[in-house]
Amino acid sequence: MKQIQVGLIGFGTVGRGLAQTLYEQKDRLLRKVGAEVVLAQVADTSAESLPEQFSDVKLTKDANEIFANPDIDIVVELIGGMEPARTFVLEAINHGKHVVTANKALLSVHGKEIFEAAVANNVEVGFEASVGGGIPVIKSLKEGLVANRINSIMGIMNGTANYILTKMTDHGVPFDEVLKDAQEQGFAEADPAYDVEGIDTTHKLAILMTIAYGKHVHLDDINTEGISNIKPIDIEFAREFGCRIKLLAISRHHGEYLEARVHPTMVPTSHMLANINGAYNAIHFNGDTVGNVLLYGLGAGMMPTGSAVAADVVDIGRNILCSSVNRVPALSYLPENIGSPKISPMSELTCPYYFRITALDKPGVLATIAGIFNKHAISIKSVIQKSRHELDPVSIVILSHTANEAAVQASIAEIDALDVCTEKTVKIRILTDDE
C-alpha cells in the first residue's frame, strides 16, 4: 500500500500533538486519503526515546538524516524560532521535500524567501497551524474566500493575552497577578513578552495580510502595542462605557494602501469580538462578496495545533498521490502576482480614543488639559473624575470623538510634560459599533 512518509523535526508539545493525531486517526486517514500517513522519522536534540506507540519510528538528533532520507515525502518543522528553523526549512526544500510548519515568527520575517524557494523547487509549504491553532483560518482565507476582495481582517489571535484580559475583566485582578497565574497554569511562557506585548499577534496578522491582499507583508510593517500597561481601573471604565478591552489585530484595505496595527482596543459589548473570552481566538473577515465571516476556536494547545499540522500533511499527501502539487498556491495568489505592500502611516489613523490622565487635583488642571486637546483639534465627548483630594493624584478619564493619531500623540506628549501629571497617560483606541 502507498505510504506518505513524514519526517518530524522537534518532538515538543506540538510535535507530540501531531504524532498522537497521526497515530489515533490512522484508520480514518487511510479511508480519507487512500494511503497510510506514516510518521517515519523524528529529529530532536533532547529526546532520548519516543513513547511506546512510536517504537517503529526512527529517532535521530541530526535533522540532516531526514533531509537525506529518500523515503521522506514531507518534512514537518516544529522547533519554532528563527534559527536553525529557517536553515532546516530551506534545506528540506532544496532536497525536494515538501514542508509543513507552525512557525509564524519565521514566516512573518522570512516568508518571502521560503515561499520563493518552494516555487523554485516545485514543492509545497503548509502552514495552517501558524495562525489560530486548530481553527482552519488559512484554508478558509486562501480557498473558501478566494473569490472575495478582502476588505478587512480583525481578530483576537493570542489566547494568552485574551486569557489575561478576561481574568482582569471578570475578577478585577491586576495584570501582574493574572500573568503569574497564567504562567502557573501553562497558558503563558516564562518569558511572556511575545504574547503580552502583541508580537505573536503581529506575526499572525502579517501572514493573514499576505494571503488576503497578495502582498508580502513583513513583521516590521505592522504597528504593535501590548497589554502590559492595562490596569483594573481601565477595565472598570471600559465596563462603564459598555465595552471590554481586547488585544486586537486590525487590517483594512484602502485601495492602494493597507492599514496594519495590533493594540489594546475598547470593543463595544454588542460586537461579536467583545464576547470571545478565555484562551479562545476569533478571526473576522469582511469580503466584498461574502460579507462578514467569523472563525472561532482554540488558538493553541498540543492537540488543536497538532490537528492543524496534520491537515496540512494530509492536503500535501493527497496532492502527491494525484500528481497535483501546487494546485492551490501557498499564498492563494500566483507567485508572480504577489507584490510589495504600501502601509498607511499610523499617524493617519482616525478613531475615537479613551485617555486616562493621572494628575494632581488642583484648580485649572482640567481646563489646561482640555485646552491642549482643543489646540490639536481633538473634540472631547465626555469627562469623568471620580475622586477629589488636592494632595493625591486622581484619574481624569476623557473620551474623544473621532480624532487623528498624530494629533493624539502630540497632545499626550504635552499633557505628560505638565508638572501636575504624575504618570504617563494611558491611551486606548475605541472600536465603533459599525466596524
Please name the residue that has the C-alpha cell 502527491: 320
Q: Which residues pair with 250 in a beta bridge?
A: 154, 261
Domains and CATH numbers, the chain: 3-134+302-337 (3.40.50.720), 143-298 (3.30.360.10), 347-430 (3.30.70.260)
Q: What confidence score (pLDDT) does residue 187 get?
A: 67
With beta carbons less than 8 A apart as the criterion, state whether 258 and 346 touch: no
What is the spatial distance between Cα 78 and Cα 110, in angstroms, rounded to a whole number? 16
Q: Which of 250, 298, 263, 294 is nearest to 277 (CA)?
A: 298
Q: What confidence score (pLDDT) does residue 300 get?
A: 84
Q: What confidence score (pLDDT) does residue 105 get?
A: 95
Q: Tens-digit pLDDT profile for the chain (435 aa)?
A: 799 999 999 999 999 999 999 999 999 999 999 999 999 999 999 989 999 999 999 999 999 999 999 999 999 999 999 999 999 999 999 999 999 999 999 999 999 999 999 999 999 999 999 999 999 999 999 999 999 999 999 999 999 999 999 999 998 889 889 888 878 876 677 788 999 999 999 999 999 999 999 999 999 999 999 999 999 999 999 999 999 999 999 999 998 999 999 999 999 999 999 999 999 999 999 999 999 999 999 988 889 999 999 999 999 999 999 999 999 999 999 999 999 999 999 999 999 999 999 999 888 999 999 999 999 999 999 999 876 555 678 999 999 999 999 999 999 999 999 999 999 999 999 998 667
pTM value is: 0.94
Q: What confidence score (pLDDT) does residue 432 get?
A: 86
Residue 292: CB atoms within 10 A of its CB come to 11
Catalytic residue, candidates 97, 104, 167, 204: 204
Does residue 142 have an active-site annotation? no
Task: Mention every residue, 6+ apart, whose C-beta is less than 8 A from residue 306.
Answer: 14, 16, 17, 18, 19, 20, 21, 129
Q: In this structure, is the dihedral angle defined by the CA atoms of residues 369, 372, 374 and 379, taken in order, positive or negative? A: negative
Q: Which residue type sits at 326?
A: N
**Continuous segment of H or E residues that includes residue 126:** strand 125-126
| Chain centre distance of CA 123 | 26
Residues 27-31: contacts with CB under 8 Å, at least 24 apart: 29/310, 29/314
- Cis check: omega of the bond before 84, within 30 degrees of 0: yes
Please name the residue that has the C-alpha cell 521560503: 114
Q: What confidence score (pLDDT) does residue 264 get?
A: 98
Q: What confidence score (pLDDT) does residue 387 get?
A: 63
Q: Cell digits for 35?
A: 494511503
Task: Report DSSP state, residue 345.
Answer: P
Q: What confidence score (pLDDT) does residue 228 get?
A: 92
